[in-house]
Amino acid sequence: MDALVALCKRRGFLFQSSEIYGGLNGFWDYGPLGVELKRNIREAWWYDNVTSHNELVVPPGAPSAFQMVGIDSTIIMHPQVWKCSGHYDLFHDYMVDCRETKKRYRYDQVQGRWVEYNGQRIFVATEAVGEEAVADVEHKALRFFNLRTKEADRLVWHSPLVSLTTVEDFSQVLAPDAKTLGTLTPPREFNLMFKTYVGALSGEENVAFLRPETAQGIFVNFKNVLDSTRVKIPFGIAQMGKSFRNEITPRYFTFRSREFEQMEIEFFCRPETSRAWYEYWRQRRFNWYISLGLASERLRLRDHSPDELSHYSCGTADVEYAFPFLAPGDFGELEGIAHRGDFDLRSHMEGKLIRKGNELVLELGPDGQPKYRGSGKDLTYFDEETRERFIPHVIEPSAGADRAALAFLCEAYAEDMVPDEKGVPTKRVVLRLHPRLAPIKVAVFPLVKKDGMPEIAQRIYADLKPHFNCFYDEKGAVGRRYRRQDEIGTPYCITVDSQTLQDDTVTVRDRDTLRQWRIKVDDCVEVIRGLIRGTYTVPG
């Protein structure tokens, strides 16, 4: 992971936000290559789900044909949206503060071990994970009891690593960065929505929130989309864009950021077909990551157990990836696919709902009136064919563009040995990114900077440029130029050499197989297009 983080900075994929001022925790900037990678992910998602979707045919595994449209709603919406959706009351994490160090931790992310020395039993806490956590806890316990490393066997361990949430009394807890015991406050709720003020006045009545998800922008536009287009159920509305969460402990590079991008679909269907649609989307979204190169055993699709489900959800599955920064065996969420029933449309019609037994009912305030009133607008759907009116059920595939980018980078990063120009095996760093995602699709080199080779290479570059993001390089040994492209994931390199001057052919080099073959100069655009689409077969 350290090597990948260093590569991301060195080659301009990711920078810490406001780095020259010391950075801002939980915020990341994408550099010249990173922005291309993330755009390619977003474009692949939009193209595969919206633009290229053919509503006239039944896709494999789908219960029927369906329509897909997109929207782009605002980041700041009416505050009532968040009251009715439940985010205002419920979108929080628990935090604990350390009175000694003034540091803040997410309650469920602190773990530790019970340890005893000389009759004193304490809980030593850490924010680290996996083997690092075990080592960190031992180091802290030794320091607390004033012992040297070689005296470690005098510590008596009473538990494996367990969550702080299992500890009832904090008086014997040594906080992750503290020197004394009992410095942690009891856990408190912390709402993750960023607050802001709309207009010149900063009173409570002007409070608004930066959206913590793009989904609500879709629900509140459900009727607009129905009324302005000819979509019929089943159909999906897609949206991608920035979301903001004031995460207590942003960490793991971009994995948990405070500003990030989501790619969400709300798919509206008849209640009785919703289970089949849920199964369809669950599998389809999993397959999407595989099709773009997350094909290893590090990717999995995991169904939530009933106690993990939100109060409104009838089923949720997560697409997860075993990021290298997680403890062995741990997976991090890339996307959640949730069956949300009619919760969202009902909430925006009636007001905030709560679960009572098996029912979702309107939550009432102390005065017996709805705690948060809905819009009162009719968000039901009238089916012209069956002459029925109903509230559609919703399936929500909700993905994160930044987490996807991070997973694709982690999966792509490799170090291998390849022969240099003299045939001597040398170490190379390579990003085996899928050609659709690679920031640069093709690099063009003249073998040497003479004999008219640069002129031909520049002509090829000019031909390719309107079609693909490409790169021209004439400096240094060609082997070194290949390595620089391998390191940033460029799948193909075209080289003009002395044979080009005779027969108008160039070599194409494949990043992964290292195969080189010759093609006609005039065929460069079509060959590269075919290679990216997977429709071109390498000869021989």
Pick 45 or 471: Cβ nearer ligand GAP: 45
Please list, in sequence order, all residues whose beta carbon lies within 8 angstroms of the beta carbon of residue 66, skipping any fewer than 6 positions away.
55, 234, 235, 236, 267
Question: How many helices, marked H, and strands, marked E, lie in the chain?
Answer: 14, 30
| DSSP category for residue 152 | G
Rule CB under 6 A: choose which of 213, 344, 363, 411 binds ligand GAP.
213
257 lies in the binding site for ligand GAP (CB under 6 A) = yes
Pick 335 or 342: Cβ nearer ligand GAP: 335
402 lies in the binding site for ligand GAP (CB under 6 A) = yes
Q: From the CB of 212, what's the least distance to ligand GAP, in Å?
A: 7
Q: From the CB of 292, what's the least distance to ligand GAP, in Å?
A: 15
Q: Which of residues 369-398 bind ligand GAP (CB under 6 A)?
A: 396, 398
Measure the CA–CA gap between 417 and 405, rounded to whole angstroms.
26
Q: CA quadruple 101, 105, 108, 112: dihedral positive or negative?
A: negative
3-class secondary-structure state, position 392: coil
**Would you give the binding string for ligand GAP spanning residues 500-519, x where CB under 6 A is met?**
--------------------
268 within 8 A of 236, measured Cβ to Cβ: yes
528 lies in the binding site for ligand GAP (CB under 6 A) = no
256 lies in the binding site for ligand GAP (CB under 6 A) = yes
Residue 241 has which token pair? 């864009």
| DSSP category for residue 313 | -
Rule CB under 6 A: choose which of 260, 280, 312, 492 binds ligand GAP.
260
Neighbours of 254 (CB within 10 A): 23
Measure the CA–CA gap between 403 and 493, rounded to whole angstroms.
28
Pick 265 or 431: Cβ nearer ligand GAP: 265
Rule CB under 6 A: choose which of 236, 397, 400, 435 binds ligand GAP.
400
Please list, in sequence order, all residues whose beta carbon lies within 8 angstroms of the beta carbon of residue 88, skipping any fewer than 6 positions away.
79, 82, 191, 193, 209, 372
108 lies in the binding site for ligand GAP (CB under 6 A) = no
Q: Which of residues 320-339 bind ligand GAP (CB under 6 A)?
A: 333-336
3-class secondary-structure state, position 64: coil
Pick 400 or 446: Cβ nearer ligand GAP: 400
399 lies in the binding site for ligand GAP (CB under 6 A) = yes
249 within 8 A of 256, measured Cβ to Cβ: yes
264 lies in the binding site for ligand GAP (CB under 6 A) = yes
486 lies in the binding site for ligand GAP (CB under 6 A) = no
Element (H, E) at 265: strand 259-269
Q: From the CB of 26, what's the least distance to ligand GAP, in Å?
A: 8
Cα separation values, 205 from 78, 80, 200, 415, 535, Å: 11, 12, 12, 56, 58
Pick 40 or 257: Cβ nearer ligand GAP: 257
Measure the CA–CA gap between 192 and 11, rounded to whole angstroms.
33
Rule CB under 6 A: choose which of 403, 434, 481, 511 binds ligand GAP.
403
Residue 252 has which token pair? 């793991």
215 lies in the binding site for ligand GAP (CB under 6 A) = yes
Pick 111 or 398: Cβ nearer ligand GAP: 398
Rule CB under 6 A: choose which of 93, 127, 136, 247 binds ligand GAP.
247
Binding residues for ligand GAP, rule: CB under 6 A, are 213, 215, 245, 247, 256-257, 260, 262, 264, 333-336, 396, 398-400, 402-403
